Amino acid sequence: MKPTTLGVIITNRSFFPDHLVGEERQKILAKLATKGIESIILGENETPLGAVMTYEDAKTCAQLFKANQDKIDGILVILPNFGDEVGVATAIDLAKLNVPILVQACDDSLDRMQLENRRDAFCGKISLCNNLYQRDIKYSVTRQHTCDINSTEFDRELDQFAAVCRVVSGVKHARIAAIGTRPDAFHTVRFSEKLLQKYGITTAVVDLSEIIFAAQAMENTAEVLAKAEEIKAYGKIVLGIEEEKILKQAKLTLTVEKWVSDHDCQASAIQCWDSIQNNYGVATCLSMSMMGEKGLPSACEMDVTGALAMYALFLASGEPSAYFDWNNNFADERNTCVNLHCSNFPASFFGHKDFEIGNLGVLGTTLGQANCFGACKAQIKEGPMTYAKITTDDKNGKIKLYVGEGEFLKDRIDTEGGVAVCQVKDLQGLMNHICKNGYEHHVAMNRGRVADVLEEALGNYLGWDVYRHS
């Protein structure tokens, strides 16, 4: 992913101490640099102290931001003192970047409350937010009303805001490859391309026959042989798998990767059964797993909105996403369940390279084991996770999602495929919400804790209907 770039506004008010502006300017620019976040900010000679206070300052700042609108992912507003709320709101309004905004206000110190050092940013932040609200400009605030730029709390706020910016920018410009068609019985994965397009999300469609014929037409070139070696190093291929099947997988993987790249797609949803097995002779899971590990998430059963959820989670965390079914209860542990797929889970979900690459289990019983090589099988490594599902609610004309956090557990279960034992607080409440609100049986999951990021990015900035389960 490209580095995040923030437009930075430092504000000032004429009867508050000027020296605070220069001090906090140096601190925030140093902080952003240490995090690899690029900044676009007024020079100290373009306005007094490089701050925004007057209408003329606001116009100068807006011009700078508009000149760099293709680079700026978000706007960070720093209040070293009370600041000028009208000047800041005007600069943002004139720039019209329509990007996330984070408002930070600096702490006062009890031993520096004299007029030459007092900030009053605590109060100024309220006034600035009021002005942004009046202009219907969407914005975010730090959890602590005021905080020091060099505090660990603000570190966390910056990390989350950068992730929010990545999700908003990435989702608004996403192109999702729809490779093939959904399984006929899966009315669950119907979706509205038009609702997605309203938010800038394009579905790029290709018939599965084009992928099959392109893969079949490949010779055993050096590129194909290299991809076959990559497959062998990716996991542990079970005994009895012929070299021909590995080469078929290599050709399929190269074909899908090329189509996704040529059409500038960031994620994909694939018709993973049963045409590919019957007409080409392998499964798609391995190709999907390998793309996912490289940050190109791929959803099963042509679930396009599932691919979008996987991509949003990837943007939020920077780590691969996987796609599951909510599948089984876990005995009488009502906050624990079993999540499965055949699977296409990225290698990092297993936490080791000894996971099995073999034939599809359930589908292999009807499609024939000889046609089903390419499933990644093992149990998911324990650790924290975030789950999410985006869907187009065509009946009500909106996009909605649920999101929450839980744990992958160590508990083992003897069953076929990629397996995760998941713990979620009030799981029964979550299942009731899913069922009553018409969600699919699928769910995207990602290691780490990024539910706050998705809630803020997709709810506050894109205006989608978000259910945050907690």
Is the separation of the CB atoms in 13 and 124 below 8 Å? yes
CA atoms within 13 A on the CB side of 67: 9
Contacts of 79 (CB under 8 A, 6+ apart): 11, 103, 104, 105, 106, 119, 121, 124, 125, 128
Contacts of 378 (CB under 8 A, 6+ apart): 350, 352, 354, 355, 356, 418, 419
Amino acid 470: pLDDT: 86
Pairing type for strands 5-10 and 74-79 reads parallel
- The per-residue DSSP string of 371-436 comes to G-EEEEEEEPPPEEEEEEEEEEEGGGTEEEEEEEEEEE-------SSEEEEEE-TTHHHHHHHHHH
Is the separation of the CB atoms in 134 and 421 below 8 Å? no
Using the structure block, give the residue that is written with the tokens 């580095």.
3
How do the pLDDT tens digits run along the chain, 470 residues long? 889 999 999 999 887 789 999 999 999 999 999 999 999 999 999 999 999 999 999 999 999 999 999 999 999 999 999 999 999 999 999 999 999 999 999 998 766 666 566 779 999 999 999 999 999 999 999 999 999 999 999 999 999 999 999 999 999 999 999 999 999 999 999 999 999 999 999 999 999 999 999 999 999 999 999 999 999 999 999 999 999 999 999 999 999 999 999 999 999 999 999 999 999 999 999 999 999 999 999 999 999 999 999 999 999 999 999 999 999 999 999 999 999 999 999 999 998 888 999 999 888 888 899 999 999 999 999 999 999 999 999 999 999 999 999 999 999 999 989 999 999 999 999 999 999 999 999 999 999 999 999 999 999 999 999 999 98
**Where would I find the H helices in 294-360?**
304-317, 347-350
Q: Which fold has domain 5-172?
A: Rossmann fold (3.40.50)
The alpha-carbon radius of gyration of the chain (Å, integer) is 25
> What gap in Å lies between CA 297 and CA 309, rounded to an integer?
9
- Interhelix angle 152-172/304-317, nearest 10 degrees: 150
Is the separation of the CB atoms in 170 and 311 below 8 Å? yes
> What gap in Å lies between CA 152 and CA 315, rounded to an integer?
23
For 175-468, which CATH superfamily applies? L-fucose Isomerase; Chain A, domain 2 (3.40.275.10)
Is the separation of the CB atoms in 406 and 424 below 8 Å? yes
Amino acid 46: pLDDT: 97
pTM of the predicted protein model: 0.96
Is the separation of the CB atoms in 26 and 149 below 8 Å? no
Amino acid 116: pLDDT: 66
First to last CA, the chain: 29
**Domain coordinates of the chain in residue numbers?**
5-172, 175-468
Is the separation of the CB atoms in 445 and 407 below 8 Å? no
> What gap in Å lies between CA 438 and CA 188, rounded to an integer?
9
